[in-house]
Structure 1
Amino acid sequence: MKKIVFFGLFCLISLVTFGQAADYYLYVGTYTRKTSEGIYVFRFNTKTGDFAPVGVAKGSNPSFLSISADRRFLYSVGGSTGDTARAFAIDKASHQLTLLNAQPTGGKGGTHLEVDKTGKWVIVGNYTSGNLSVLPVAADGSLGKLKEVIQHEGKSIDPERQTKPYVHSINIAPNNKDVFVPDLGTDKIMTYSLNAQTGQLTPGNPPFTTETPGAGPRHFTYHPNGKFAYVIHEMGGTITGFTYKNGALMPFQTISTLPDDYAGRKWCADIHISPDGKFLYGSNRAHESLAIYSINPKTGQLTLVGYQNVLGKTPRNFAIDPTGTFVLVANQDTDNITIFKRDATTGKLTPTGKEITVSMPVCLKFIP
């Protein structure tokens, strides 16, 4: 088995056009609670699945990452209590990162962030404080002082995990206007409208979509055709598909992420669609698997293809490489990122035997 050793990898991010050159750069955010030093950069080959280390940008707990549309800047959320957003410049030649600045987010437990398509605004989801915040971006890519904080309210039925709001992800639509924010604590997907000129977020129409009580919506993805969207439920062990039109979500299907005979903990995490739009994948922590579904191109309906063991424990995050050839799974509690070859016809995955040994990996992203 081929291994490349780095410690504390947390996040591999993907942002490129389908079907370009074989070499991409992989940016990896981390938890630094053990031995990681910050954000790691690799060169990744989409023909072979091989890695080559490029460098590291040091910092505390740079968990989730987001890359600007022009690929000049990278943003992370982290800090000792997840209350800091950082901006980095990406060197065009070397792809090394240079810290520009850091700003407080106005919340606690920052778990997700996204930069809008204009590159002018970064929106952060704060899990512990149950709010989201907006930070402006200067012309040099640095972050300005906090512009707005929106506090969620409410709760749901679980007496331990849903006594208050828990914002889990920020999802800006391709139109750069609609913003969907799954809240695990309230069992709602909150909807906002982004004014890209002012950075203001206003309630969408409708202002939220109600989920099944106790489901705990977590991560969210848009279909490449722009007609469908999907959310994975951390506590419910399900995925719901929606038709997406004019800023509204209309559910058409809810499907389990787990086998019928599974009796263990339901603990879903991440969700992604293959670049060709034909297959959807969702990660199951505890069951230690990726659930694989085919997507009906006309209706968006999901049909179970099967399950792939992730060869590790707690697959908090995973990424499909931009060409759709490989799937990389970040197994947080076994400190490894496993690499699978993807069959474009069936959607099924095959272990390559290649693995990156890291400490607490979580989130995955690419650029050319």
Structure 2
Amino acid sequence: MKIITTLLLLSLLATHKPMQKKQFLIVGTYTSTGSKGIYVFMKDPATGRFTPTDTMEGISNPSFLTLSPDRQYVYAVSEFGKNSPGSAFAYAFDRNAGTLAAINQQTGTGTGPCHISTDAGNRFVFTGNYNGGSITVLPVQANGGLGAPIQQILHQGSGPVESRQKSPHVHSVNFSPDGKQLFVPDLGTDKVMIYDFDPARSMRPLQPAAQPFVSTEPGGGPRHFVFHPNGRYAYLVLEINGKTAAFSYANGRLTLLQTISGAPADYSGSNFGSADIHVSPDGKFLYMSSRGDLNTISIYRISEKDGTLSLIGHQPTLGKEPRNFLISPDGEYLLAANQKSNTIVIFKRNAETGLLTATGEELSIPAPVCLKWVE
């Protein structure tokens, strides 16, 4: 009897397939070109294709999104013009159905909010306001909604490129791996501002760090910022000059290691529009998108020894204006959002070489500008 029972158990184990996690792609857009708002897609585990599950209308220009750490809520900026006060929206996300439900909206984030993030405890939401040159802090309520702004920090200064750097332009708000510091690249001042974060200071959770900022190349235009998975290195896109800056990070301080161009060797132009930056999950490669004349993803190898970069290749994004992109959590795919060709193009990533190959699959969405992955 024991032998029969054991054989039956082994048979059941052999035929049992573990439940596959549902995977969703959430897309922020610019609505001025025909988009309806925020789009949600589910990835079919059998075919790998994406099918739509929801569209959230009623929000103007949801140009950047962030997810709460538990993936139950989505927060979006609503990016208005230069003289209009920006807004932030909160949504509940159904991780089974792939649908969004509006919770609330808060105005007064600051003009031109272009980036948004949350702390690890989802106690506060932070917006980076491009036109206002400021950071705004909003408390998160018990239902996941947003309270009225409680803190706003205005940057000061300018840069040498008169057409782009007459005043501060905050471009992103990014937490350190331990969640204790917020790093804020400012395109207008050529600085990454650094703030200590303490949630116990409920009305003023941010204050300047002991190292209040780190300067970058004059005229570079700091934009997006990302940490290496090991937490010891960080990387910054310089939008105006098309370069990437590499830093070491220890004891709450950044130290510049290197500034390296992301342009092809034969490129002689100056219209870079460099935009987004991500490290592969294995920490071996760095990817940076450029718009302007190039419309490419620059691919860098990361030194295991010291975190510095070597440029090893470029991948055309097969579209125009790759403002944003993401790497799937398993590192297998890179999805590039081409704002001006209304496509998200899917590439296969070679884990050994870091290079990209088009899969032939793409999604058609009006003006996609922010991609977020949910499992």
Normalised to the residue count of structure 2, the TM-score between the two structures is 0.90
- Residue 177 of structure 1 deviates from its aligned partner by 1.1
Task: Give the 5 Å matches for 1:144-163.
Answer: 144-163=147-166
Report if aligned partners of 2:42, 2:98 keep a CA contact under 8 Å in 1: no
Paired letter, 1:139:
A
Report deviation, 1:266: 2.1
Identity of aligned residues (%): 46
2:132 aligned with 1:129, yes or no?
A: yes
Provide the residue aligned with 2:279 in structure 1. 273
Matched with 2:184 is 181
Query: Match of 1:104, as an amino acid?
Result: T
Which sections of structure 1, spanning at least 5 residues, go unmatched? 1-19
From 214, 219, 223, give the equivalent of 1:214: 219
1:248 to 243, 249, 253: 253
Partner of 1:77: 77
- Is 1:164–2:167 an aligned residue pair? yes
| CA drift at 1:80 | 3.7
Give the counterpart letter for 1:280 in structure 2.
L
The CA deviation string for residues 64-85 of structure 1, in whole angstroms up to 9 with x for no partner, is 0000001111100015447000
1: CA distance, partners of 2:157 / 2:79:
27
Per the alignment, residue 4 of structure 1 pairs with none
Higher relative contact order (CA 8 A, sep 6+): 1
Q: What corresponds to 1:109 in structure 2?
A: 112
Report the counterpart of residue 7 of structure 2 in structure 1.
Answer: none
- What is the CA–CA distance in structure 1 between the aligned matches of 2:120 and 2:232, rounded to whole Å? 19
- Taking the TM superposition and a 5 Å limit, the aligned residue runs for 1:16-27 are 21=20, 23-27=22-26
Aligned counterparts of 1:253 and 1:79: Cα–Cα separation in 2: 33
Q: Secondary structure at the match of 1:167?
A: coil
Matched position secondary structure for 2:31: coil
What does the per-residue CA deviation read over 1:4-62, in whole Å, with 9 as the maximum and x for residues that have no partner? xxxxxxxxxxxxxxxx9564111111111122111111112578541011111112211
Q: Quick one: structure 1 residues 79 and 128, their matched pair in 2 at CA, closer, same or farther if it must change by over 3 Å?
A: closer
Moved more, 163-172 or 59-68: 59-68
In structure 1, how many angstroms separate the alpha carbons of the residues matched to 2:74 and 2:62? Answer: 11
What is the distance in 2 between the residues matched to 1:360 and 1:43? 19
**Does 1:68 pair with 2:71?**
no
| Contact persistence 2:239–2:275 (CA under 8 A) | yes
Match 2:142 to one of 109, 116, 139: 139
- State TM-score, norm by structure 1: 0.92
Change (3 A) 1:298 1:290: same
Distance change (3 Å), C-alpha of 1:167 and 1:36 = same
Q: Matches of 1:62 and 1:311 in 2, distance apart?
A: 24
Aligned with 2:361 (options 338, 348, 354) = 354
Q: 1:88 aligns with which of 79, 88, 91?
A: 91
SS at match of 2:192: strand
Following the alignment from structure 2 to structure 1, what is the Cα–Cα distance between the partners of residues 76 and 280?
24
Say yes or no: does 1:36 pair with 2:35: yes
The 5 Å alignment of 1:189-338 reads 189-199=192-202, 200-264=205-269, 265-286=271-292, 287-338=294-345
Structure 2: gaps spanning 5 or more residues: 1-18
Pair 76,101 (structure 1): closer, same or farther in 2 beyond 3 Å:
same
Aligned to 1:97: 100
Aligned partners of 1:22 and 1:47 also within 8 Å: no
Residue aligned with 1:33, SS: helix
CA contact (8 A) 1:177 1:196 kept: no
Cα displacement (A) at 1:365: 0.6
CA distance in 1, matches of 2:118, 2:179: 10
**For the residues of structure 1 that align with 2:351 and 2:192, how far apart are their CA atoms?**
31
Task: Name the SS for the 2:340 alignment partner.
Answer: helix
Q: Report deviation, 1:193.
A: 0.6
C-alpha distance in structure 2 between counterparts of 1:240 and 1:177, whole Å? 22
SS at match of 2:110: coil
Report how many aligned residue pairs link the two structures. Answer: 349
Quote the Cα distance in structure 1 between the aligned partners of 2:41 and 2:97. 11
Separation in structure 2 between the aligned mates of residue 47 and residue 303 of structure 1, nearest angstrom: 37
Distance 1:307 1:22 in 2: 32
